[in-house]
Each structure stands twice: as C-alpha cells, then as structure tokens.
C-alpha cells in the first residue's frame, strides 16, 4: 500500500472512526456487570420483549454471568487493559500513521463501554470534521454487531445541531484484501508449527438461528469467508470446517457448535487441530479465553494431542493493509 497521506477535498476535515464491540473498564465483577448490563440491554443483541428480558437480565443473568466473565477477563487482562481495547487503539494509531494528515483524522470507539461512539463523534466534529466515515470492525455483517454500531452512530447524530455528513462501510467478509490477509495469517501460523493439523476449524461468533431465519445475512457471510479462505489455501471442505461459538441461553444458535465439534473431532481421530476465528478482527475474550484456554482443555479432554490458535489480525501489517484498503475505497470522492 502507498504511504502517501490522503488529503481531504475542499480543505475540510474528514474523520475516520474505527468501532469495535467494547470492553469493561477492568476485570473485576462490578466493572464486568456494568459492561454486560449495557451490552445485553441492546435490543439488537437480545430481541426478547423488554418486560420479559430486563427482570431476567438484572436478576439471575447478571448475578451469575458477571462473576464468571470477570474470572475469564482476569485470565487475559494486560497491563494496558483489555486486549480488544489495546489492539483497536493500536489499529487506529497505525492507520493514522499511514493515511492521517491535517485534514484526515483517525480515531476509535467502542459500541459498549469506553470510549463511546457518541463521545468520539462529538470530539471529531468539535475538531472540525464535517464528514465522518465509520468502519465497524466486523468482517461479516450481523444486526447484532454492525447494526448495533450504526444504531449508536445515528443516535449520536440526533443530539447534534450541526451534523456531519456520514458514510458507513459494507461488510468486507469477501473482499480480496481481507481474504488475502486472513489466508496469509493462517498459512504462516501453520508453517511455524511443529505438527501438521488433521483439520482446521474456522470458529465464528454465533447468533441465534432465529435471527438468520428473519433475514440476518451473518451465516451466509461466514460460510462465504470460509469458502474463499479455503480456496485461497487450496483446501477441500473436509479439511476446513466452519463452526460457531459463544452461544448463550437455551434457544438454538447457528450450528455446528464449536465446543461440541472440538470434542467430536478428537473422538474421531483428528487429534491435531488448528483453530482460526475470522469473525474477530482483534483478539479478545472469545479468542484468548474461550478458544485458547477452554477450547484447548475441551479438545485435550476428548483425546486431542496438539492444538493451536491462529492469532487474529490484530495490529499486524496485514490488518492495517485491510483497513487502509477499505478506507481508501469508501472515501472515494471525499479525498484526493
């Protein structure tokens, strides 16, 4: 990619805002409880009627889930904070170094927790940005993730008397730059291992199956990402498996489930496994604790011998290539 800075047309300022899911302020129970209360109150995430869901949420759900989630966060927390926050900040800083200028500002926000979308949109407008491009850091679209980001963006604009022009990006699950980066990271990881995997599992964050039945395209996007990556690496469908993790509650979620697949594979003789998580642009609780710690324990308990997790793209050169490619494409006409 070129290292030339982009210049906004007509001498005005443009804001580029990267947005990820969010993180608690700390790995303690009360910080996690506040974060989960905000996250699980979003009607994009939980579609149950509020009169039914809110008593459950503020009763048994948060009581049980907060302490368990806090324990999980403590296992992955860093000196700089949550890995998701650390990597998203680094992505914004590295992207700014590539495309930033006096007229193009790059920043980041979180859908839930801090820094909030509303606060960063306000900061960009106060800094003179009359145009803002928002990039949700989810390769595959779902109303529960990307839709939730844009809901909060539009809500923030409703509070402004002078609103900036706004652009958002379509999902990039199939874009060549993303597929190239993802396939390259998986290939490099496998080549560095001291074992050859019997299978590679692509584990995506799950959503309730009913959401897709109602029109959410997330499942199709995930399957297409797997197909394209498998094709780029020359693998057949038996070698590369697509699964879904992180289910919550008693309703049916997208299948096959990752945890059940890990146990089944080991029992079927696939004792050497590599797991990648394409739905996550940055490593987070779901990759570092659920897959790398719990998933490994599940696989070994079922008879597996070798297990390795492919790091997310994080703030790698390949990750910033994807972001730069997306930003330059979507800002066409706004920048020279």
> What does 271-305 look like in DSSP terms, one character per residue?
-EEEEE-TT-SS--HIIIIIIIIIIHHHHHHTT--
Q: Is residue 205 part of a domain?
A: yes
The reply to whether 60 and 140 lie within a common domain is yes
pLDDT digits (tens, 9 = 90+) for 171-195: 999 999 999 999 999 999 999 999 9
What average pLDDT does the structure give for the chain? 95
The reply to whether 78 and 108 lie within a common domain is yes
Q: Is residue 257 part of a domain?
A: yes
Per-residue pLDDT at 4 exceeds 60: no
What pLDDT score was predicted for residue 1?
42
The reply to whether 24 and 164 lie within a common domain is yes
pTM of the model as a whole: 0.95
Distance of CA 321 to the CA centre of its chain: 17
Closest to 15 (Cα-Cα) out of 157, 134, 117: 134
Q: Is residue 264 part of a domain?
A: yes
Query: What average pLDDT does this structure show over 218-222?
Result: 98
Query: What average pLDDT does this structure show over 53-82?
Result: 96
The reply to whether 110 and 245 lie within a common domain is no
The reply to whether 196 and 167 lie within a common domain is no
Per-residue pLDDT at 105 exceeds 90: yes
The reply to whether 36 and 153 lie within a common domain is yes
Per-residue pLDDT at 162 exceeds 60: yes
The reply to whether 234 and 290 lie within a common domain is yes
What pLDDT score was predicted for residue 155?
97
Closest to 251 (Cα-Cα) out of 298, 280, 215, 212: 212
Angstrom distance (rounded) from CA 88 to CA 22: 10
What pLDDT score was predicted for residue 166?
98
Q: Are 135 and 323 in contact (CB under 8 A)?
A: yes
Per-residue pLDDT at 3 exceeds 90: no
What pLDDT score was predicted for residue 102?
86
Edge-first strand listing for the sheet containing 306-309: 240-245, 199-205, 272-276, 306-309
Angstrom distance (rounded) from CA 275 to CA 327: 29
Q: Which residues contact 4 (CB under 8 A, 6 or more apart)?
A: none
Q: Is residue 202 part of a domain?
A: yes
Number of H helices, E strands in the chain: 13, 8
Largest CA distance in the chain: 63
pLDDT digits (tens, 9 = 90+) for 261-311: 999 999 999 999 999 999 999 999 999 999 999 999 999 999 999 999 999
The reply to whether 19 and 122 lie within a common domain is yes
What pLDDT score was predicted for residue 336?
73
Closest to 160 (Cα-Cα) out of 189, 132, 202: 132
pLDDT digits (tens, 9 = 90+) for 73-95: 999 999 999 999 999 999 999 99
Per-residue pLDDT at 216 exceeds 50: yes
Angstrom distance (rounded) from CA 263 to CA 256: 12
Range of the domain at 200: 176-309
- How sure is the predictor about 11, in pLDDT bands with cuts at 50, 70 and 90? low
Q: Is residue 245 part of a domain?
A: yes
Angstrom distance (rounded) from CA 25 to CA 114: 7
Per-residue pLDDT at 219 exceeds 50: yes
- How sure is the predictor about 112, in pLDDT bands with cuts at 50, 70 and 90? very high
What pLDDT score was predicted for residue 96?
97
What pLDDT score was predicted for residue 101?
84
The reply to whether 20 and 119 lie within a common domain is yes
What pLDDT score was predicted for residue 10?
53
Q: What DSSP string runs through 191-244? A: HTSSS--SEEEEEEE--BHHHHHTT--HHHHHHHHHHHHHHHHT--TTTEEEEE
Per-residue pLDDT at 221 exceeds 80: yes
């Amino acid at each position: 990619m070129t290292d030339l800075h982009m210049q906004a047309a007509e001498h005005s300022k443009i804001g580029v805002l990267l947005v990820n899911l969010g993180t608690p302020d700390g790995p303690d129970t009360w910080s996690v409880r506040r974060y989960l209360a905000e996250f699980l109150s979003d009607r994009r995430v939980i579609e149950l009627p509020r009169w039914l869901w809110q008593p459950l949420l503020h009763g048994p759900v948060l009581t049980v889930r907060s302490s368990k989630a806090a324990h999980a966060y403590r296992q992955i927390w860093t000196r700089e904070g949550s890995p998701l926050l650390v990597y998203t900040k680094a992505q914004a800083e590295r992207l700014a170094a590539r495309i930033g200028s006096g007229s193009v500002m790059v920043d980041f926000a979180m859908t839930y927790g801090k820094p909030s979308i509303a606060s960063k949109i306000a900061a960009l407008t106060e800094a003179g940005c009359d145009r803002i491009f928002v990039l949700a850091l989810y390769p595959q679209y779902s109303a529960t993730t990307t839709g939730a980001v844009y809901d909060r963006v539009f809500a923030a604009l409703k509070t402004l008397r002078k609103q900036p022009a706004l652009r958002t990006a379509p999902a990039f699950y199939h874009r060549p730059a993303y597929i190239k980066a993802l396939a390259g990271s998986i290939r490099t990881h496998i080549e560095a291992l001291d074992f050859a995997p019997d299978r590679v599992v692509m584990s995506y964050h799950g959503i309730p199956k009913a959401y897709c039945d109602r029109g959410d395209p997330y499942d199709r996007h995930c399957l297409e990402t797997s197909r394209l990556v498998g094709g780029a690496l020359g693998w057949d469908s038996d070698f590369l498996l697509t699964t879904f993790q992180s289910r919550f509650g008693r309703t049916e979620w997208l299948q096959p489930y990752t945890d059940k697949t890990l146990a089944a594979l080991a029992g079927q003789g696939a004792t050497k496994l590599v797991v990648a998580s394409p739905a996550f642009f940055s490593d987070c609780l779901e990759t570092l604790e659920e897959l790398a710690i719990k998933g490994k324990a599940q696989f070994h308990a079922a008879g597996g011998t070798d297990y390795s997790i492919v790091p997310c793209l994080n703030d790698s050169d390949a990750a910033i290539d994807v972001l730069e490619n997306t930003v330059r494409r979507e800002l066409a006409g706004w920048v020279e």
